[in-house]
Structure 1
Amino acid sequence: MFYSLKNRLIVFFVVLLFVSFGTMSYLFFTESRSIIRSYIESSAYEKMDEYASFVNMALVQIYDVSSIVFNSSMTKSWDNTLSDPALPAGEKMLANINLSQFLTQTTNNYSIVSSITVYRQEGMWISADNQITDDSSFKNEPWYDQFKTKGIQWVSAHQDPLEVRRLKPFDVLSLLLPIGTFEPSQSKNMMKINVRAEFFLEPLNRIHLGEKGTIFLLDGNGQSVLGQHEFASHPEAAKKMETIRNNAQQNGVIYLENEDGVKDILVYKKLKLNNWLLVGIVPEVDLYGKLYKLRTSMLIFGSLLLVGAIAAAIWLSHGISKPLSRLASGMRYVQMGDFDGAEKRIPAEEKGRNEVSYVTTTFRNMVSQLRFHIKTEFELKLLRQQAEYKALLMQINPHFLFNTLELLSSLAMQQRTQDTVRVIEALGKMMRFSLRISNDLTPLGEELKYVRHYTSILQIRFADRLHLTLEEEENLRDCVIPKFILQPLIENAVKYSFKEQAEAKVMIRVRREEARLILTVADNGSGITKELSQELRAESLTTHFEHILKTRSEQIGLRNVLARCQLYYGNLFEFEITSGELEGASISLILPIQGGTIDV
């Protein structure tokens, strides 16, 4: 029983799992109590220094932008123009447009800036891209009140109505500065420079302290600058903010303990440029997995386990792994339809009586039988499809011939000799074309010649009562289409047009739309009912067309055409039935454009 593959696997992996995980757990809980906390502290300082440099660089650029707008002659000229009541409104509007263009150019020069907006105390604001609006609603915003009354220049992550109006509903971090003076309460104009909060958040989110540690960017009041609401879940850290701000040290470490006895490590660093603060909080227990000693111990033990696992895998590969891998490779080839490739990768038969050998033998037999059945079914289906297509094609010729012979009989009885000769000549050319049934397809140019011969017969029959037009785009005559798909549609169009009135109008249009050829026949008849249209569409979805060969309905020509196109093109064929521009029926055959002459 021990030599059974199932039993060997169970015994081996039970022993391996118990020994490996038992030893790893013991090392983890014994070695983790001697953690050297200085490692995480130095790592945190290094990451914070990198991010602080990034923030300082961004702030310098934002201040540069504000300096350009503040000191620009364009801004001063705009302020003077709008402050002069004697100037006309047109000149003031020109000044607004010039300032907007200047803001557009400045914004484009600094990729980190999302937008720059200048607000005027009278209730107007100007931004880039010629956005000039008389709207004093910004005075109701909290940031405007705090700027005017308290001089608070930095606005934490928030949704700016201007950005929302521009279909950019993202959080922004904003710098507010007066224009023309350094005192916010006395300024008539102010600028608001928006920077996406994501610009600061994305690199910050890539910084990790342990696995669960988080770094927050706080302002001078200990509030989150970037909308990091997770800081509120650390009330012990919030209580230490006052102590950190009053401390002269630029960075440091504080150890916290909550009511449940869980210890956290708080690492902070002050930013000199605008009194912001970087605070990193990481649970103490999260540091155990990052220590060198524990990593070394686990690495040594893991290496020993790896050597043992490799030796066991080699021993088992001859019985399980290797045959199963080759069997899986063979299954992938079967999935792709490559049965020869699958049989080459199926393992050779073995004399052993285990489960893998049985599965391999069974799968080999299954592949052989499956290939035989698929080949047989495919050949039978192809032969049946070819027979159906030929039968449908032969159905068209007698149908048209009978109608034309009736016309010749009528002309002979009327002693219209010249018309009879013309009909016979046209009929001869048409029969010569229709008797070439060795090819199922024909160039569009040949099909249109056939259609013109047919329409000439119709014109002789109906004279001035029939109005036929043929429109075709250039460079389409070499496209290949199934034979005899236009003539039955034209015949039906003429028939049903005369059924309702004394004159018939039929329009034939050939055009190209991207990689598709669209053949349209429209008439001024009574149209096709919705029920019949749905019935024709349902029939086109089936792959059995014996009922069309046996049908005696009046729509035999239309059904025949749709069936042959469906047989040849499959899912690539589409058709549309609408009322049309002649107020009758309009039938459009939508075919993929093809070149060359091939059989179905």
Structure 2
Amino acid sequence: MVFTMVMIPVFLMSWLFVKEMQQSIRQEVSSNYIHFTEQYVANLNYKLDIYKNLQETLSANQTFQTVMQNQYRYGAQDMIYISNLFSSEIKNVIFSDYPEIYNIMFYAENPAFPRDGRHVASLDVMESEYWFSSVPETYMLEPIVFDYRTLGLKKKIVSFASPMKDLSADTSIRTLAWLKIDVEAELFFEESLVRKQSNEFQFAIRDSRNHILYASHESFAARLDSGAVSGQAMVEFLNSGEVLVHERIEALNGEVLFLFPDFEIEKKTKAVFNKVIFFVILILIFTLIMSYLMSLILMKRLRRFINKMARVKEGKLEIAEYIEGRDEIAIIDSQFNTMVRRLDEVIQENYIQSLSKKKAELSALQNQINPHFLFNTLESINAMATVMNAREISAVTESLGDMLRYSINISDSLVPLREELNNIVHYVKIQNVRFDDRFLLSIQVEEQLQSAKVLKLLLQPIIENAILHAFRGSRSVGHMEVTAEQRDGQLWLIVTDDGAGMSSEEVRQLNDTLLSGERHGHSIGLQNVHSRVNLTFGQSYGLRIESDPGIGTKVAIVVPYVK
């Protein structure tokens, strides 16, 4: 999963990077091609400027000017002399710096000049050539560029023709002749190339009429003639993968077109692609290694956690080790440790509560005097008292017998409140016999509440505690009242006496003792009742005690209202 999440963005970013690099490479290669083309045009313009200067030099040559100004003085017999003179003078001007020059011709108006001279001919010869008649008159004042083939079509020739003006002071606008410099197209155009580029490109020169003056490859010229390659934009990426670049050549009133193959773009793109593939493979290997190592570490930590869970499952709740770190496993381990500790605490609390409950029940049973033989003995004493007409003895034994009968029946822990009230009535009767009728018990409980279920022997320890402590040392009659209320699903049994009462500090200590569950020598009966209620119904139930010195004490027993 982690490997997939890592590799998807890596592949996506690699693909975007390759696309971006392809675009950059195309721009870089295009820039190189444009620079190459511009350099070629600059070189070609430089050579054209040289030929323009050469044309001006030849036109201004004094020898040529003199001959052409006096051309009508010469006849056919003078042509050999003039031809030799022109050849000698051309060699003096040209030297040997122009290997591409095929020929230099002067076309004079004198019809006596030959039609097939080496350097001098009549104007009729030029007028018969195909380009001359189609040239607009406005062009006649400027140099003209045209091309043709030599005899036998062996060489491609490009010619530069310009009018030769009369440089005499009074006739400077008169055209004396036409000067034409013929150059070999291949030497002229090829020598202008920058030889840093691959030789696999093709190029062509064409004029404003889309006439091709020169093409390095006939196939390229054919594609230009057919319109398969237009060259409308400065840089075009053709469907064939080739790159076409063209640049204007003002001196030729035309343009140059270069057709470059796509191998350079493909080569650079392939190099970038190989690097990206290498980079992706490295990331792949690194990710696999890291994923494997991370899985080993993760599984090791998971096995530790699983072993810990297995020990807890076996009941071993001791936390022997902790998984360090800040990852999810460490967080889960921390939460698991907290849960186990809390579980152990709950088990301990339940165990302690269970022991306390058993102890409370045992204490309650120990407080009950319920051997059967004692009950049978009391029955015998009651029968003897009746026979002897000892009514007080009979009443006491009857009450004590009822109390024993009530306590002997331990099958039910919950009994109707009515039975619990009857039990404390018998208890108070017995105490009044002992203490000479010093206690008065009042029970104010509605009939419908007397059927509510309460714990057995719930009220008798409270009444006993009042007799033993609240009225100790008092010779006046002690009043005790038992009431019952229903509050929000709870049954409140309230025992009130008018005994000596307790101070606020004594009340606080007693309530704290009941809440803490600690055992003290005093108020064991109250503590037993509170513990039994807690263990049976929960911590929210139990005893609530209020008291004022000299006024009395109120003990409220709060239990669920159970019908």
Output the TM-score relative to the length of structure 1. 0.35
Q: Higher Cα Rg: structure 1 or 2?
A: 2
- Please give the TM-score of this superposition, normalised by the length of structure 2: 0.37
